[in-house]
Amino acid sequence: MNEAIGRLGGFFVNSFITLSLYLNFCKNVLAKLIRFKLFNPAIFLVFLRQVYFTGVQIMPIFFPISLIIGIALVGLLTKFLVGLGAYEQIGQILTILIIRELAPLLTAVLLSLRSSTAVSAEIAVMNIMGEVDTLNAYNIDPVDYLYLPRIVSGLICMFSLATFFSFIAIIGGYFVISFQMNITFDFLLTLIFDYLNFSDIICFLYKTLLLGFFVMSIPIFTSMSVKNANTEIPIALLKGMMRLFYGIIFVEFTGFLI
């Protein structure tokens, strides 16, 4: 019993220390962002490359998934509601399902699987190879040159891709019902925008921006601890993805409060 309590206490202490270090890391990153460090030409070039990798190269995978989700959920669900005569519920359900829930969540999952793991491995390898120490030796802050561009690209790409997902899902769903029912695309959009309110927009912004920050900052923070051997890389990847999973749960849970 005492051993179990000791382990539980150690877990909470370690979690608190890790959370404190992560919040301090976030504070440093945000301080650099406020000082417009991103607009340094060298840093901005790294930022553009990361946006291309994170937001552009994922499109061949992201577009068909968005379209399939739209056809499978939006189209069939709308068709079902129309069949029941529940026209007034279409806008409410689609707003909650697509804009508040699926768009931020699925975008975060796809970016986590593709970009978060890549960034985590990249930073870990840089630490092992001594590249981060080299930057420090030349008085180049790794937060400026390595971390800030990747985190900001996560924010921008997360918001942009989630918005893109919402439109493609709605368009894909409309293609299903337009061939069988006399419903125009303007009518479907009107149903959605009539229900869409300020809290829905705030919830969408809250989820996309915070998830975008987590998708990049948590893997980077975790990989910063890799120092000595290549065997630490898979451990850091696993630990980073688990922490990111907890972050996604936190955002989804707090999103219900909005």
> Residue 137: exposed, middle, or buried by beta-carbon count in 10 A (0-12, 13-18, 19+)?
exposed
User: What confidence tens digit (pLDDT) does each residue in 6-27 have?
Assistant: 676 766 777 788 889 899 999 9
- The pLDDT value recorded for residue 66 is 83
Residues 115, 121: Cα–Cα separation, whole Å:
10
Query: Do 81 and 173 touch, CB atoms closer than 8 A?
Result: no
How would you label 234-256 residue by residue, b for 16+ Cβ within 10 Å and e otherwise?
Answer: eebbebbbebbeebbeebeeebe
DSSP 181: S
Residues 229, 231: Cα–Cα separation, whole Å:
5
Residues 232, 234: Cα–Cα separation, whole Å:
6
Binning pLDDT at 50, 70 and 90, where does residue 206 land? very high
Residues of the chain above pLDDT 90, percent: 26
Residues 86, 253: Cα–Cα separation, whole Å:
29
Average pLDDT of the chain, as a whole number: 84
- The pLDDT value recorded for residue 213 is 95
Binning pLDDT at 50, 70 and 90, where does residue 152 land? very high
Centre a 10 Å sphere on the Cβ of residue 117 and count the other Cβ atoms it contains: 16
DSSP 97: I
- The pLDDT value recorded for residue 96 is 79
N residues, the chain: 258
Integer Rg of the chain from CA: 21
What spatial distance separates the first Cα and last Cα of the chain, rounded to whole Å? 41
Residues 96, 119: Cα–Cα separation, whole Å:
32
Q: Which residue has the higher pLDDT, 124 or 227?
A: 124
- Across 91-106, average pLDDT: 83
Question: Among candidates 166, 204, 58, 160, which has minimal Cα distance to 117?
Answer: 58
- Across 213-223, average pLDDT: 93
Query: Do 103 and 201 touch, CB atoms closer than 8 A?
Result: no
CA distances 159 to 51, 153, 154, 201, Å, are 12, 10, 8, 12
> Residue 214: exposed, middle, or buried by beta-carbon count in 10 A (0-12, 13-18, 19+)?
buried
- The sign of the torsion formed by the CA atoms of 247, 55, 208, 90 equals negative
- Across 36-64, average pLDDT: 86
The residue ranges of DSSP E strands in the chain, in sequence order, are none
pLDDT at 35 over 90: no
Q: Which residue has the higher pLDDT, 222 or 98?
A: 222
Domain boundaries, the chain: 39-255
Residue type, 119: V
- The pLDDT value recorded for residue 87 is 62
96 three-state secondary structure: helix
